[in-house]
Structure 1
Amino acid sequence: MSFPHLQVASGFSFKYGAILPEELVVAAKNQGLTRLALTDRDEIGGAVRFIKSCIQYEISPILGIDLAISPSGALRKTNPSTKLKSPTKGGSYRDKKHYRAVLLARGKFGWSALVNLSTKIGSARFSDPNSTLSIFDISASLKQLMPNGYTSADSALVVVLTPQSEFAAAVLGRRPDIAIGIIKQWRDTVGVTPVIAVTSHQSQQGEFSTNAARKLLKFADEHGLKSVLVNSVRYLTEKDGYIADVLDAVRGLIPIHPKHISQSTSSAYLKNTDQMAQIAIEITQNQARANQLLLDTELLAASCSLNPVTDLAWGHIYLPELDLLTSELTIKNTIQHNPGDAMRAQALLRTKATSALEQLGLDRNLAAVARLEQELAVVASLGFAAYFLAVAKIVVDVKELGSRVNVRGSAGGSFLVYLLGISLINPLEHGLLMERFLSPNRRSLPDIDIDVESDRRLDVYHSVLDKFSSQRVAAVAMIDTYRVRHAIRDVGAALMFSPGEISALATAFPHIRARDVRSALADLPELRKSSITNLANLDQLFDCVIALDALPRHRAMHPCGVIISDASLATRVPILPGIQDFPVTVFDKDDVEDLGLIKLDILGVRMQSAIRHTLNQVKQVYEIEVEIDHVPHNDLGTFELIQSTKTLGCFQIESPGQRELVGKLAPKSMHDLIVDISLFRPGPIKSDMITPFLAGKHGWQQPRYLHTDLIKVLSETWGVIVFHEQVMKIFSIMTGCSLADADEYRRALGAADTQFQVREIFYRKALGKGYELSVVDQVWQELKSFGSFGFCKAHAAAFALPTYQSAWLKTHYPAAFISGVLTHDPGMYPKRLILDEARNLGISILPLDVNLSKLDYQVEVVLNDLSTNSKKYGIRMALSDISGVSELEISNITAGQPYSSLSDFWQRAQVSRPTAENLIKLGAFNQLYSSANSNNRDLLLQLADLVKLTDKKVASGQLSIPVNSKATNQSTGLPEVSKAEKVKTELNLLGMDVTAHALSFYYDFLAKLSAEVKLVSSANLRKQRSGSVAYTAGVKVAIQTPPVRSGNRVAFLTLDDGSGPIDLAFFEAVQQDYADVIFNSWLVLTAGIVKKSGPNGISIRGLGCWELQMLYQIAHSEGINQVSDYLKTQVKQQLVQEKMNFKKLDTTSDRVRRRTGGMGPAKRLLLHASGLAISPYSDIKPAGTPMNTSIISDSGLDFAIDDAQLPTKLWHKSPGSGGR
């Protein structure tokens, strides 16, 4: 008989448990356990993962909740919640100690009771983190769930009173009368007789001591109460005890210190059966009694073991009631499923689809009719008609809200989804397959993802909530786990590092897993050279940081996932209040699918908001109403723009890699855009699909087809397998299988344990159809290499539409489009680069104006030439970009426009003094006072007088101050604000250099340097010879380290020099000497080798990167020739070093490892989901990069600018999706 642990906390007991549910089950299996419980503190968020793992490892699952129970009041003097410690560094002690009881579920009513109780305590803690539930709350939950069978409440729940219960406190406090009263209260109120848990962590004193366990067992025996043995598990092995100490310190906001460490944590691990048997003997001091205690524990575990299928309805699918989808009446709780709902839903779905077919004029198209019938049959066989109707209804409601909407993902391959108006992509026009989205063979639930405007996302959520009610709708949760930065902050505080040390440590590291903290310090040159290596106690810190890796840290509302169910949702998943009171479940996206809940992803996409803003501006300024969803997809000007690579701001094709790819590919059609989007993915890059595709497309070589039967499938991609759909068609052609089966084979290609089965099927059936073995071999190699890494064509087609639309708008209405991009910030670049793009397009950037600026960026006519009937447009800066200004202040400002003077503005706009000062500093009153003899310094003095006058009037009870009707002001004689001061102010308050480019202050220096070395601007890059060395200078605007085929960390740096972006790639060997500058400086000069490919493709391989400030200082003190000589020497040395490294690629010596920055041939690699072997530091925000625009100090450019200093760092973090 194996021992069943009945009290186990996982990491979902946030900052208490130190085990992931999956790890717990694996450890139990390795110990030979057959039953196991998960009883997290005050919630059940880890339950689904636990159940799933138990099914996999054939362990009987037991679910419970370790619930904080309100005290009865009888032990008021010793109530643990009144004995609170205080943190040593101020603040409030967060870890209130509550009385607790473990409630174990029996059957489906027990599961529903856990769900209900988790909802109750979670909702209460939304407003009060220290809320508890009373025995009466538990009773009320049971009455609500099983009103007819309430007399047998013990059939739903088992109440286990642990050593942390009020009952145990009474027994150990020598108050048997109170203990008996507590047992009676549970019996009378809840209808259950509690079971007494005994625990020994072999400590000398306290509730987990052996002596305490003996007292509790004796009391139970004397009063006829059942008793069980538990170990209050919270970590896996004995050596992990320190993790519990760290979590206790983090949770309690107290330092790790012997006086704060509980002795009980030393034994709270998953002990094996023999160890628990020894503890039973130690407690009972009698072999027979020990055996009985173990037997009673096993019997209770057996009675609480759950059947996932019958008790949790595992695999059952819940759909909204049909009446809800067909009626516009107010939702009533009485809506229920009817026996004929499935047939009625299918009939309604058919009616809607065939009606749409007729409206589109496709009802006589045999292919369209056949496709619709095929898809309707699949939906009918799966019983999903109500789901499609529900999503269609939601899309209709979204459109009625005025929000743009489109589908994304594989659902775009469904003709039915198109006919229902969910998708704007006709799959018949692009060869898309329904089977990639849904088929009778698919085990997973359908998952329709829709894109809406980002600024309307919560409106859409509430529209869904209003339609279906909180009984049926909830957002999916997102579990934030410990990564290196959060772990350093929490552990650092517990180890009493200073706040400054903690901040320096946390921000120095990349956004990587906590487990990689030591390897990052060893591998990354920018970290090895930093001052953090001098800090004391780093080893202890890193040990604790690694221990927290991947443990849940907190739960948040998922940005897009929404559950749609029937009215029984609240009995199956806990639901808590979220943002704007939108209900949120405790389970994540994978959990809800395992529970059979239909999930709809409603993604707020900033590009959709930018397009809406653009269309509104076009209508307002140009007086033209553009139907962007109906513009032709063959516009020559649009594709010329894309081919030129001037795609900043455009959806999906603005990144450095995409601009290079579109330059090489030169798209001329929507199909080309679909291919482009599909190729720019980790899988195609790893498999080097791009090279043969470009060679075939541009005629550099003949396409290679492995068999004539495959020409029709592969001709659209010049013989290269790019799309999932192509893999499916190849399987179908060569084996004769259905497309549904083909998709299952495609999925299996990506898993090593199933790939061999697919190979056997493929060879047997292909050879059986008469294909030669050599052909089968070659095709299999292609499928194995490319099939699992291709891209879903339907997804690419859905992305290609807004890609084309954004490029079309930029081509035909550039000012309106740029205003939309600046307003909604959808891409990867800072707004300052987009401002440069506007200037390069001939669009004026109009300064902030207190009478003209609005919340958003607005297009204005700046020149109207009637003789030529032409207009020139400008973009007015937005009030929302001013640091510190509130939405209410912006609303007040715009409502009061126009203003006649500063005093008029101060009286009516009702803004704070800092906001008024910032508006003056940014020149928002310059136009108003353009004819007055005053400047911004004078206006600041006038504002100070207005503030004093206002204070006096308020003190005397007067409600108004005198208002000047005209903008006049006497000059104080103070000097005008210089251009440098203006730029500094703009960078500090706007994060943008509006008046002048930051690099312009170096133009004289750069002009002199250009006479010595070849300085190239972005505008002239394409004129450079391939293979030549080019020097560039600019402001760093973006840096990425994505996964690359080599597995190395490559830093892709984008600079802005005022004429456009400059993209460079710095490989690992170069990072050894330049990583600190690459990652931590913002004004730089670089050198690199130019490489040209395709019609407009260009890239630069970085050779060096230097701080512009440092080079200027050298020139200032030693002359310009010293700078040029220094640069030429550094580049020459780097080229020589590259040749040496190339000759010694096979060596793993320490010398080579040093040259590669600790990232040489012996480096660690991780396996990316795409199959890429990547650096652990890839696809992350690099080291030293602050998260948002920040000013670090004022020591920047005083040597170059006589009367001002610029900040030393300028960073950008776009909140947009960039298509993700």
Structure 2
Amino acid sequence: MTFAEPQVTTNYSFLRSGSDPGEFALAAAALGYQAIGIADRATLAGVVRMHVACRSARIRLVVGTRLDLTDAPPVLVYPMDRAAYGRLSRLLTLGKRRATKGNCALSLADLADHGEGQVVVSLAPEGRPTTTKMDRFRSELIRLKERFADRTYLAVSPLYRGYDRARLMRLGDLADGLGVPLMATNDALYHHPGRHVLHDVVTCIRLGCTLADAGKRLLPHGERYLKAPEDMARLFAARPDAVAGAAEIATRCTFSLDELRYEYPAEPVPAGSTPQRELVRRTWAGAAERYPQGVPAKVVSTIEHEFDLVAKLNYAPYFLTVHDIVLFARGRGILCQGRGSAANSAICYCLGITSVDPTKHDLLFERFVSAARDEPPDIDVDFEHERREEVIQYIYARYGRERAGLAATVITYRSKLAIREVGKVLGLTPDTIGALAKATWGRGNGLGGETAQVAGLDGTDPTLALAIDLAQDLRGFPRHLSQHVGGFVITRGRLDEMVPVENAAMEDRTVIEWDKDDLDALGLLKIDILALGMLSCLRKGFELLSHRLGRLSAWLTCRRRTRAPTT
């Protein structure tokens, strides 16, 4: 391997990059890379998308992250194997759980506590290599070397200044004296030179300033793109060992997200039984209640068919978990109702998860669970919106926050917000920004060459044309992570060793960094714990009936009235 760019910052560093993971992967493949490393800031939010994109492009992904430590220079951290990845994920969870949402607070001691199996790369100080600066940095590098031994590297990247060669030689001499290998990187912030302006724009959005006022807060050049391996070899001709160091890290860090193995929680079952046997027992017990006159032959055949497929795919623990949650809710008097494709399941009907008999309507079970599709089941359960939080907190208490968390939702830029943000950065007047925003529409592009004319503005104005083009590029970029409406991921082992867990904006909620698309890509199961206002309304209606009629009314006591025949 000649060179592997180890430090790519994607737009999942949130307003610090001008390109998405897929664009980096495609560009790397086109440039002849065999591997590429992701190093978003204190997050693994983009690694699944990068993993999928790299797999499609047939290049290897080196998983990593950048940590801005509270008491040491910034470092890049790359797990060498699955165990080290788990420690890195727990480290990020630690930093995020002790900080406010969107932040991460970690010290060098925290990193050392989770440092086994990690390659730790110190970032060199910016600016001229003065003696004072180098002496201070030398002491910091010694601290890293003492803790991480031969897994310590020093990153060197060109600043594209006249003193670059002198800086490279000073840093190289310092590293040689301490026995620390160099690692070459261009600190890629966008995949192509043409994204330089967009990177400046997202930087201004993050800093809350205009391009005109940004000054030295922007990079003075447009060189932070993914460069070809031969270009990197030329830039580091004076220290070819730095290029070799980058390739060495890619070789040492063999961990792949393909190694993640999801195991659903092993629900408690009677001694000597198994989850499948317990599911069978509960289902037939429920069937006896659903069909008090005897279970029809058609239903028996349907249930047996479903048992076979569930056993083949080993999904019994999943059904038992959902059943446990439903039993908790009903034990608390919380109305709940399964919906969606789960209504196609006779097992779900017999367990009381759903209330529709699929055999009466000839519903196809394979629409819910199918071996051919190789997709995990997805049971959506609605709960009273006023009492859903009781169910959510039960799940946290039942499994622990290290094993259960809400899925994330990636909040992205849509056309209207994109044009507003870009317009502010370019210094357009509020009236002009408002007119452009009103000229966009819907969830689609809503932006094009005719946008200015539709807004009643001068379509030949180059600033307006630039704003529209940049807003089009910004559309779809992630703004921040929010929480899914109710998708829970529950694991047998530690969830925080699979994905970092952070505090949600809502009190007593914790959220993982991956969304439903990431979970689907890795084959991770989730349960949707949803809120439905109508269930709260129905409960209040039942309470009113109970008060008026003097007897308890409930969901299953309601019977459909047979319509009188018409004449």
> Does TM-score exceed 0.5, indicating one fold?
yes
Q: Which letter maps to 1:317? A: Y
Q: Is the 8 A contact 1:479 1:552 kept in 2?
A: yes
Between the aligned partners of 1:190 and 1:303, the Cα distance in structure 2 is 15
Q: Secondary structure at the match of 2:222?
A: helix
1:471 aligns with 2:402: yes
1:320 aligns with 2:265: yes
Between the aligned partners of 1:580 and 1:509, the Cα distance in structure 2 is 36
Structure 1 segment 635-674 matched on structure 2, within 5 A: 635-636=562-563
Structure 1 segment 121-140 matched on structure 2, within 5 A: 121-126=95-100, 132-140=105-113
Q: Secondary structure at the match of 2:211?
A: coil
* Aligned counterpart, 2:318: 387
- Among candidates 293, 298, 305, match of residue 242 of structure 2: 293
- Among candidates 602, 609, 613, match of residue 536 of structure 2: 609
Q: Secondary structure at the match of 2:137?
A: helix
Q: Relative to structure 1, is the Cα distance of residues 499 and 623 closer, same or farther in structure 2, using a 3 angstrom cutoff?
A: farther
* Aligned counterpart, 2:287: 357
Q: Relative to structure 1, is the Cα distance of residues 633 and 248 closer, same or farther in structure 2, using a 3 angstrom cutoff?
A: same
Structure 1 segment 580-599 matched on structure 2, within 5 A: 580-599=507-526
Q: Which letter maps to 2:193? A: E
* Aligned counterpart, 1:650: none
- TM-score normalised according to structure 2 size: 0.91
Q: Secondary structure at the match of 1:138?
A: helix
- Among candidates 362, 384, 387, match of residue 453 of structure 1: 384
Structure 1 segment 1135-1154 matched on structure 2, within 5 A: none
Q: Which letter maps to 1:203? A: R
Q: Relative to structure 1, is the Cα distance of residues 318 and 169 closer, same or farther in structure 2, using a 3 angstrom cutoff?
A: farther
Q: CA deviation at 1:544?
A: 2.3
Q: Secondary structure at the match of 2:274?
A: helix
Q: Is the 8 A contact 1:118 1:574 kept in 2?
A: yes
Q: Relative to structure 1, is the Cα distance of residues 160 and 177 closer, same or farther in structure 2, using a 3 angstrom cutoff?
A: same
* Aligned counterpart, 2:227: 271
Q: Secondary structure at the match of 2:292?
A: coil
Q: Which letter maps to 2:528? A: D
Structure 1 segment 323-472 matched on structure 2, within 5 A: 323=268, 344-359=274-289, 360-361=291-292, 363-472=294-403
Q: Secondary structure at the match of 2:386?
A: helix
Q: Relative to structure 1, is the Cα distance of residues 485 and 300 closer, same or farther in structure 2, using a 3 angstrom cutoff?
A: same
Between the aligned partners of 1:121 and 1:194, the Cα distance in structure 2 is 22
Q: Secondary structure at the match of 1:517?
A: coil
Q: Secondary structure at the match of 1:54?
A: helix
Q: Relative to structure 1, is the Cα distance of residues 71 and 401 closer, same or farther in structure 2, using a 3 angstrom cutoff?
A: same
Q: CA deviation at 1:261?
A: 5.2
Q: Secondary structure at the match of 1:228?
A: strand
Q: CA deviation at 1:475?
A: 0.3
Q: Secondary structure at the match of 1:69?
A: coil
Q: CA deviation at 1:477?
A: 0.2
Q: Which letter maps to 1:573? A: V
1:158 aligns with 2:119: yes
Q: CA deviation at 1:593?
A: 3.1
Deviations 1:266-286 (A, max 9, x none): 1111111222122122xx1xx
1:238 aligns with 2:193: yes
Q: CA deviation at 1:419?
A: 0.9
Q: For CA contacts below 8 A with separation 6 or more, give which structure has more relative contact order.
A: 2
* Aligned counterpart, 1:119: 93
Q: Secondary structure at the match of 1:267?
A: coil
Q: Relative to structure 1, is the Cα distance of residues 411 and 555 closer, same or farther in structure 2, using a 3 angstrom cutoff?
A: same
* Aligned counterpart, 1:303: 252
Q: CA deviation at 1:572?
A: 0.9
Structure 1 segment 71-82 matched on structure 2, within 5 A: 71-72=71-72
Q: CA deviation at 1:345?
A: 1.1
Q: Is the 8 A contact 1:43 1:122 kept in 2?
A: no
Structure 1 segment 425-574 matched on structure 2, within 5 A: 425-499=356-430, 502-503=433-434, 505-506=436-437, 509-513=440-444, 515-518=445-448, 521=451, 528=454, 537-574=463-500
Q: CA deviation at 1:552?
A: 0.7
Q: Relative to structure 1, is the Cα distance of residues 192 and 278 closer, same or farther in structure 2, using a 3 angstrom cutoff?
A: closer
Q: Is the 8 A contact 1:66 1:100 kept in 2?
A: yes
Deviations 1:473-532 (A, max 9, x none): 10000001111222233223322345565455435532435x53225626xxxx826579
Q: Secondary structure at the match of 1:476?
A: strand
Between the aligned partners of 1:572 and 1:362, the Cα distance in structure 2 is 48
Between the aligned partners of 1:606 and 1:53, the Cα distance in structure 2 is 40
Q: Relative to structure 1, is the Cα distance of residues 303 and 413 closer, same or farther in structure 2, using a 3 angstrom cutoff?
A: same
1:101 aligns with 2:27: no
Q: Secondary structure at the match of 2:325?
A: helix
Alpha-carbon RMSD across the aligned residues, in angstroms, is: 2.9
Q: CA deviation at 1:628?
A: 4.8
Between the aligned partners of 1:39 and 1:57, the Cα distance in structure 2 is 19
* Aligned counterpart, 1:972: none
* Aligned counterpart, 1:962: none
Structure 1 segment 1064-1213 matched on structure 2, within 5 A: none
Q: Which letter maps to 1:305? A: T
Q: Relative to structure 1, is the Cα distance of residues 214 and 503 closer, same or farther in structure 2, using a 3 angstrom cutoff?
A: farther
Between the aligned partners of 1:440 and 1:245, the Cα distance in structure 2 is 48
Q: Is the 8 A contact 1:69 1:135 kept in 2?
A: yes
Q: Relative to structure 1, is the Cα distance of residues 138 and 562 closer, same or farther in structure 2, using a 3 angstrom cutoff?
A: same
Between the aligned partners of 2:394 and 2:340, the Cα distance in structure 1 is 23
Deviations 1:1049-1093 (A, max 9, x none): xxxxxxxxxxxxxxxxxxxxxxxxxxxxxxxxxxxxxxxxxxxxx
For structure 1, the residue ranges without an aligned partner over 5 or more in a row are 73-98, 143-152, 327-339, 641-1220
Between the aligned partners of 1:234 and 1:305, the Cα distance in structure 2 is 24
Q: Secondary structure at the match of 2:5?
A: coil
Q: Relative to structure 1, is the Cα distance of residues 222 and 475 closer, same or farther in structure 2, using a 3 angstrom cutoff?
A: same
* Aligned counterpart, 1:56: 56
Q: Relative to structure 1, is the Cα distance of residues 389 and 204 closer, same or farther in structure 2, using a 3 angstrom cutoff?
A: same
Between the aligned partners of 2:267 and 2:439, the Cα distance in structure 1 is 55
Q: Relative to structure 1, is the Cα distance of residues 419 and 38 closer, same or farther in structure 2, using a 3 angstrom cutoff?
A: same
* Aligned counterpart, 1:149: none
Deviations 1:242-281 (A, max 9, x none): 1111111111112213624534551111111222122122
* Aligned counterpart, 1:183: 141
* Aligned counterpart, 2:17: 17
Q: Which letter maps to 2:138? A: I
Q: CA deviation at 1:586?
A: 0.6
Q: Secondary structure at the match of 1:348?
A: helix
For structure 2, the residue ranges without an aligned partner over 5 or more in a row are none
Between the aligned partners of 1:41 and 1:265, the Cα distance in structure 2 is 22
Q: Is the 8 A contact 2:153 2:181 kept in 1?
A: yes
- Among candidates 169, 191, 215, match of residue 170 of structure 2: 215
Q: Is the 8 A contact 1:398 1:463 kept in 2?
A: no
Between the aligned partners of 2:129 and 2:78, the Cα distance in structure 1 is 23
Q: CA deviation at 1:540?
A: 2.9
Q: Secondary structure at the match of 1:518?
A: coil
Between the aligned partners of 1:172 and 1:46, the Cα distance in structure 2 is 37
Identity percentage over the alignment?
25
Q: CA deviation at 1:466?
A: 2.3
